[in-house]
Amino acid sequence: MSTLMNPYLSFRDNAREAMAFYQSVFGGTLESNTYGDMNMAEDPAEANKIMHSSLKTDDGLVLMASDTPASMALDEGSSYSISLSGSDGERLRGYWDKLLDGGQMTLPLEKAPWGDMFGMLNDKFGTSWMISIEGQDS
């Protein structure tokens, strides 16, 4: 039996756009259901909001997200980052470049004191990412 930990992002009303963006970054299969699809829309105006979306990549990455109806509080006080790491520098630099498009770099992707390449950014949806390329000198 195995245990998985999968990031689950909450948006007010742009989960569809965000997940399409993440699919353009990571590839994979994106599945989404709206509140209307599941007959869970309290307000008919919110029937097209995403109740659950899941992106699964060929590499085994899983990212999930949903929109938050106006009747529910959106916890904007939480602090989190999604960390991507590994030794495939070309792939991780590709993710970095795509995530940075429309976003903001908070720490350049460069050699860190511990020897790996490391950088941080906030993508255009406000999600914070940390990228670490193991064993990279430049």
Q: What kind and span of H or E run contains 17?
A: helix 15-26
- Per-residue pLDDT for 138 more than 50? no
| Helical packing angle, 15-26 and 89-100, nearest 10° | 150
Q: Which domains does the chain have, with CATH numbers?
A: 8-67 (3.10.180.10), 82-133 (3.30.720.110)
Reported as a single tens digit per residue, the pLDDT across 46-57 is 999 999 999 999
Phi then psi dihedrals of residue 23, to 5 deg = -65, -35
Reported as a single tens digit per residue, the pLDDT across 1-40 is 567 789 999 999 999 999 999 999 999 999 999 999 988 8
Reported as a single tens digit per residue, the pLDDT across 57-92 is 999 999 999 999 888 877 766 678 999 999 999 999
- Cβ neighbour number for residue 14 with a 10 Å cutoff: 16
Residue 87 per-residue DSSP state: S
Sheet holding 8-11, edge to edge: 8-11, 62-67, 50-56, 29-34
